[in-house]
């Protein structure tokens, strides 16, 4: 049973003290298209992802020589198949991220949308995605049922824990599916660049403080970035803030950068290590 | 006492998944609807662990439904010296159409009394929303104080507002973590804001009421935020004449 009080009971790959998962959600024009908007003029932020933000992130991650994970919506993959294929061929995991980056729970239409995106990403990259991140954070037991049917082994969408844990839905804990939590209030660029409009230098300090607290516990640090302008980190100053954070983490002993599927597979090798106490929840 | 003390109260609104359950079913409490589950899984122990390390006994406002779901935890908090007070049934808006506030107040009162073994003496309205009858109901049920208002630097009597023989122990919008973390401010900005406000309140010897939540979205439950609070409490404890109390203690001092 994993517990935050008994930290000795969770172990990371290579005996690392702390794992860092850097994730990039494509967030191209799928958002606007999904809302029936034209991605033009002041609604063109999503076009920045493929043109400027993603290349800048790829250059930076390559320079830093760290793994990262790329979550892509079906629509964005159809728009930029070569970009997605090239990134996949470079060894980066492509996870799925909705079709139109659905902003609200698509209800009964969800299974078909999950399947469509799954098929598209498989066709483009030659590999079936095994990880998912919810677009906008909506996820229900219905989502989990479908993802598991499609062969997914993890998703990175929940905000209710600080460590990986075995999924539980329909009253049952699963030993073949792990939740790798993220946090879109504190470990994401959106809240600071769109909600509080905080300068990148202060955002970097904030993420460093998050890292300090998680590193002190020997924990799991999952950061979510977007290559868009506007709410994302695609612009030069903001990619520089992400790079500053990577440099900061690298200065600490025992930090291991991980791809999310790599981490999920590590956890699922010994699922009983990642059971969580559900009492009162 | 030669110099008057400056009273500080740390209050915690124990809001877990009842927040999300007002909108969604249990089957949908994943993803962005899972922040509430963080409270009992992680946030509470981080937050109360910190308060215990600082020797601060807080006042914990608990929705009745949260207490029903986690009776052992709420009882243990009382055993650690924290005051358990009422926070509505399940994050209802008491002034909304169709809400029978009397029934919900009674249900919460009975649940907390049974679980804690002592009747709660204080109340804070979920969302800070009351009707003109709420304080009267609370007085009928024997409550001694309310802590929902944000309109004074000191406690005051509630008789004129319908709270017969009751005291208001006010808090302050800017000293509620949700006000700032809800707007996604960084830790440094929150702490800077609080230090400036607290420093000036201390100078004028105001009641300083801090309101925290054990959640990972608008609350202080994350390890990083607990670390920021650790620094804040360490700094506050060095301010001359500062003394930590529970709401109940302040209400009793004000109006025995």
* In-domain check, residue B190: yes
* In-domain check, residue B95: yes
* pLDDT over 90 at A278, yes or no: no
B186 vs A198, A212, A214: nearest CB: A198
List CB contacts (< 8 A) between A205 and chain B. 186, 188
Interface test with A, best of B186, B193, B214, B222 (most A CBs within 10 A): B186
| A226-269: pLDDT as tens digits | 999 999 999 999 999 999 999 999 999 999 999 999 999 999 99
Residues A102, A103, A104: CA angle, nearest 5 degrees? 95
User: Phi/psi at B155 (nearest 5 deg)?
Assistant: -60, 160
* pLDDT over 50 at A37, yes or no: yes
Determine the 3-state secondary structure of A40 from DSSP.
Answer: coil
- How many Cα atoms are found within 13 Å in the side-chain-facing hemisphere of A281? 21
Q: What is the CATH number of the domain that holds B157?
A: 3.20.20.370
Query: How confident is the model at residue A47, as a pLDDT?
Result: 97
- Contact call for A185 and B181, based on CB within 8 A: yes
* In-domain check, residue B211: yes
Segments forming the whole domain that contains residue B65? 6-254
pLDDT confidence tier of residue A1, bands split at 50, 70 and 90: low
- Contact call for B224 and A138, based on CB within 8 A: no
A16-274 adopts what CATH topology? TIM Barrel (3.20.20)
Tell me how many domains chain B contains: 1
* pLDDT over 90 at A2, yes or no: no
pTM score of the predicted model: 0.95
| B148-157: pLDDT as tens digits | 999 999 999 9
* In-domain check, residue B1: no
Quick one: what percent of chain B has pLDDT higher than 70?
A: 99
* pLDDT over 60 at A185, yes or no: yes
Extract long-range pairs of B27-31: CB within 8 Å, 24+ residues apart.
B27/A140, B27/A141, B27/A142, B27/A169, B28/A105, B28/A140, B28/A141, B30/A139, B30/A140, B30/A141, B30/A143, B30/A144, B30/A157, B30/A158, B30/A169, B31/A134, B31/A137, B31/A138, B31/A139, B31/A157, B31/A158, B31/A159
* pLDDT over 90 at B238, yes or no: yes
User: Phi/psi at A71 (nearest 5 deg)?
Assistant: -100, 125
The domain segmentation of chain A, as residue ranges, is 16-274
Cα separations (Å) of B5 from A89, A248, B8, B239?
67, 43, 9, 10
**Nearest alpha carbon to residue A266 among A8, A13, A2, A10:** A13
């Amino acid at each position: 049973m994993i517990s935050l009080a008994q930290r000795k009971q969770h172990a990371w790959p290579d005996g690392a003290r702390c794992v860092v998962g850097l994730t990039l959600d494509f967030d191209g024009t799928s958002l606007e298209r999904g809302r029936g908007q034209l991605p033009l003029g002041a609604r063109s932020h999503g076009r920045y992802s493929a043109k400027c933000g993603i290349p800048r992130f790829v250059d930076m991650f390559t320079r830093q020589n760290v793994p990262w994970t790329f979550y892509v919506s079906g629509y964005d993959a159809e728009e930029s198949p070569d970009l997605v294929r090239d990134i996949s061929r470079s060894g980066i995991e492509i996870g799925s991220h909705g079709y139109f980056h659905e902003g609200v729970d698509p209800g009964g239409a969800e299974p078909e949308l999950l399947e469509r995106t799954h098929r598209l990403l498989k066709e483009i990259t030659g590999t079936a995605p095994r990880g998912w991140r919810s677009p906008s954070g909506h996820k229900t037991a219905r989502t989990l049922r479908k993802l598991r049917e499609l062969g997914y082994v993890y998703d990175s969408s929940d905000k209710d824990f600080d460590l990986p844990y075995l999924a539980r839905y329909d009253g049952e804990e699963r030993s073949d599916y792990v939740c790798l939590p993220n946090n879109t209030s504190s470990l994401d660029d959106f809240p600071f660049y769109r909600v509080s409009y905080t300068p990148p230098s202060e955002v970097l300090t904030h993420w460093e403080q998050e890292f300090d607290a998680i590193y002190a516990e020997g924990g799991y640090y999952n950061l979510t970035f977007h290559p868009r302008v506007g709410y994302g980190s695609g612009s030069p100053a903001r990619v520089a803030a992400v790079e500053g954070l990577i440099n900061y983490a690298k200065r600490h002993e025992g930090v291991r950068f991980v791809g999310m599927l790599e981490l999920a597979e590590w956890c699922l090798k010994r699922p009983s290590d990642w059971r969580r106490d559900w009492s009162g929840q | 006492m030669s110099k008057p003390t400056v009273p500080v109260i740390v209050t915690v609104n124990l809001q877990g998944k009842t927040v999300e359950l007002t909108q969604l079913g249990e089957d949908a409490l994943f993803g962005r609807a899972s922040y509430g589950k963080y409270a009992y899984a992680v946030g509470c122990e981080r937050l109360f662990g910190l308060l215990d390390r600082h020797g601060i006994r807080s006042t914990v406002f608990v929705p009745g439904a949260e207490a029903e779901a986690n009776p052992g935890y709420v009882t243990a908090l009382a055993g650690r010296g924290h005051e358990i007070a009422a926070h509505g049934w399940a994050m209802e808006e008491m002034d909304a159409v169709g809400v029978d506030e009397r029934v919900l107040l009674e249900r919460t009162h009975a649940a907390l009394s049974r679980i804690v073994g002592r009747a709660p003496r204080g109340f804070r309205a979920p969302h800070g929303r009351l009707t003109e009858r709420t304080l009267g109901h609370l007085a009928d049920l024997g409550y001694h104080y309310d802590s929902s208002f944000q309109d004074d630097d000191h406690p005051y009597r509630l008789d004129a507002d319908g709270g017969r023989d009751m005291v208001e122990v006010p808090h302050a919008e800017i000293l509620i973590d949700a006000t700032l973390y809800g707007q996604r401010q960084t830790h440094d900005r929150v702490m800077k804001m609080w230090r400036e406000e607290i420093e000036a309140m201390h100078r004028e010897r105001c009641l300083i009421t801090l309101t925290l939540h054990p959640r990972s979205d608008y609350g202080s439950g994350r390890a990083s935020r607990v670390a920021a609070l650790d620094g804040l409490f360490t700094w506050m404890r060095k301010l001359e004449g500062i003394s930590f109390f529970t709401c109940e203690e302040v209400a009793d001092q004000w109006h025995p």
